[in-house]
Amino acid sequence: MLNITENQSLKQHNTFGIDVKARRFLQVTDEAALPELFASGALADGALLILGGGSNMLFTKDFEGLVIQIAIGGLEQQETADGDVLVTAGAGIVWNDFVQFAVNNDLAGAENLSLIPGTVGASPVQNIGAYGVELKDIFEDCRVFNLETGEFREFSNADCRFGYRDSIFKQELKGKVIITHVRFRLKRHAELNISYGAIGSELERRGITDPGIKDVAAVVSEIRVSKLPDPSTIGNAGSFFKNPVIEKYEFAEVVAKHPEVVHFATGDGRVKLAAGWLIEQCGWKGKVVGHTGTWKNQALVLVNHGGATGQEVYDLSSQIIESVKQTFGVELEREVNIL
């Protein structure tokens, strides 16, 4: 039987710790509940929000509809004929628990994605990424439930139309399907990516000349901890803005005025700028504004110092966007979902 509660607080279901309520709330621990929910007619009664760990969400008001919080568990692995290993994870599994499962079983591919907040089910939606690796690089397929037809379907890597922090689930299928399981293709023989950021230099500092996936995972985790606040102690949603990707002619205009601008080639002829650097140059790093602010070690992260409303955080983000635009002529895009 479906256990739909009313006027449920969402404070414990979003990492910003914003105290808002859902008019109706259902936690799903088994995908079998979804066809039952569809048959009940409850999906047709007002607005709908699919929620994982709430690590990429900013609530600016109460949600006047049904929140479905996905808490489906389970981890299984299967050998393939070509020597790879397919790992199927329930959508409710904490992302870093999946990464640690892979690392502890000597399965390579996910180690650079250590300590990214959120759940497995949310990972394809955002095409999460860090330190030169994106979700799409290890994604095999996922199982989804269609909220309009009441049917399950498998989505291949190509079906998901992955882009930079983007997928079909953020576009035309937003709010129309629920991801219940994700399958990853991992390797027995590691092809480590240690050229991005400070991974290589930190391994060298530790005297590790022949690193394994456990070494990379440990270094990535340490770097992230040193830069990013723990949501259990201070509310945040990790990186609040995307790194802007601009055309070459736009970059030429920026670098002419700001030759020191931090940037990376994208491989498609465009240039990616470091949003955190842009924000820091505008004087926002570590700045406190009322109950909100930016993190002292990473300007890309907005934080709730306690008692902030979602609107306060949103207003701060608007000020930062305007400041960067005025200084660099570049408009930042929010990575976090706003409600």
Cα gap 182→87, rounded to integer Å = 8
Cα gap 23→167, rounded to integer Å = 29
Q: What is the DSSP letter of 243?
A: P
Cβ-contact 18, 235 below 8 angstroms:
yes
| Active site positions, annotated | 165, 239, 335
β-sheet with 47-51: strand ranges across: 5-9, 21-28, 63-70, 47-51
Cβ-contact 335, 236 below 8 angstroms:
no
| φ, ψ (nearest 5 deg) of residue 223 | -65, -45
Please report the beta strands in the chain, taking only residues with DSSP state E, as ranges in sequence order.
5-9, 21-28, 47-51, 57-58, 63-70, 75-79, 85-90, 129-130, 133-134, 139-146, 152-156, 177-186, 235-239, 245-246, 263-265, 271-273, 288-289, 292-295, 298-304, 337-338
Q: Where are the alpha helices (DSSP H) in the chain?
A: 33-40, 95-104, 123-126, 199-205, 213-227, 248-257, 275-281, 310-328
